Structure 1
């Protein structure tokens, strides 16, 4: 089959450096998506019509168009529209964060609605401000209820991060392509990177299970 994994000799440290970029990108995108998704979910639950309309339209647009298209629009259109030379990593973080927020907003909204209505009524009857009630009482319980969905979103972001290679971000996939171009053998570096992605997903899943088990003990 003409396979020769020895072609990776000398390239392994170069490829492994992509792990840091991939994990950093995933963490920043997930954090931004969670924060903005929480805001959007509160907009959807708001009694203010324009906020509900904005959140609904936003979610519809970002869920109804391809992520790769959103990435290209942010990376290539930003210099044209705003005369700002955005870096590939920043463009990728924005695209993935904004896209993730659209999906997470529905998940978080469902988590908030799953919290017993009586707790909300009790907090309001005690004179607890709405913002304090949401941050200290409702949202922690909502996050606990939707933790598996949040983990799935992080895993999806980790795997979809390979798309950023198309705009020049030197993540794992980009570095695998560079090795393939240098050695004229693509199968070996792609398999190597695939194993790395798989191990990262397994570690993320394990950490999520440990966190979920710890949260259950705290009940």
Structure 2
């Protein structure tokens, strides 16, 4: 079978473990990155809603910079810049996750994701009826308590589907980590292709695996969104 054939998967018996590890690494780095991004994203969202112009500006600058520059550039700056001064021990988890690469990769993805999740949080907070906050304040709650106990719980319900979508997006964007040699799914495809000289098949398989992860996840999120909207109408 031709090395350039789209259906040449003769490499699978020998290299399937590469792709399995790649899926595990991709899912792990994606979920961890979004979870880490949640806290700074919430802080950025609250800063954007602040009445202090300086605090609003700081948040706006962060969001503008990370949303307006390529993720590849951000990854290079974090990996070769920040972590050139912060040394991470080359310790392996589960035999194939090198912390010296994994941590910088997660940090870069989380910093980027925080800029997008911050806007998700801000939109969710603004979507809560202002009367909810006013009612909480009239009961004697401070602005902070009102935000923490009344507004945020309702906002989080609104933004959960969007956060889940951010994980789906991160699964795709994590492929950029292959440029640094991190053993995620795209790295597996590149390595197998270079080793076997089968130029198309490994990438087709990687594309199918990304599809099998993201498409069902997107459909599940759509079902959850519909059920939440039905719950809101009752």
Distance 1:10 1:141 in 2: 50
> Counterpart of 2:140 in 1: which secondary structure?
coil
Runs (5+) with no aligned partner, structure 1: none
- 8 Å CA contact 1:36–1:101 kept in 2: the answer is yes
Match of 2:205? 192
Match of 2:12? 8
Distance 1:64 1:202 in 2: 27
Match of 2:68? 64
Distance 2:117 2:11 in 1: 41
Distance 1:186 1:178 in 2: 10
> Counterpart of 1:9 in 2: which secondary structure?
helix
Distance 1:135 1:161 in 2: 32
**Structure 1 position 66, deviation (Å):** 0.9
The reply to whether residue 161 of structure 1 matches residue 174 of structure 2 is: yes
Match of 1:44? 48
Q: Deviations over 1:155-181 (max 9, x none)?
A: 221101100011111001101111111
Distance 2:120 2:55 in 1: 18
> Counterpart of 1:6 in 2: which secondary structure?
coil
- 8 Å CA contact 1:19–1:172 kept in 2: the answer is yes
- 8 Å CA contact 1:78–1:85 kept in 2: the answer is no
Distance 1:47 1:57 in 2: 16
**Structure 1 position 148, deviation (Å):** 4.2
**Structure 1 position 147, deviation (Å):** 4.0
Q: Deviations over 1:100-129 (max 9, x none)?
A: 111221222122111111000000111123
Give the count of matched residue pairs.
218
The reply to whether residue 27 of structure 1 matches residue 40 of structure 2 is: no
Q: Deviations over 1:29-82 (max 9, x none)?
A: 1112222111100011112333212101111111121110000000001244x2
> Counterpart of 1:5 in 2: which secondary structure?
coil
Q: Aligned-pair RMSD on alpha carbons? A: 2.0
Distance 1:156 1:201 in 2: 8
The reply to whether residue 101 of structure 1 matches residue 114 of structure 2 is: yes
Distance 2:172 2:28 in 1: 13
Distance 1:203 1:35 in 2: 27
Distance 1:79 1:17 in 2: 25
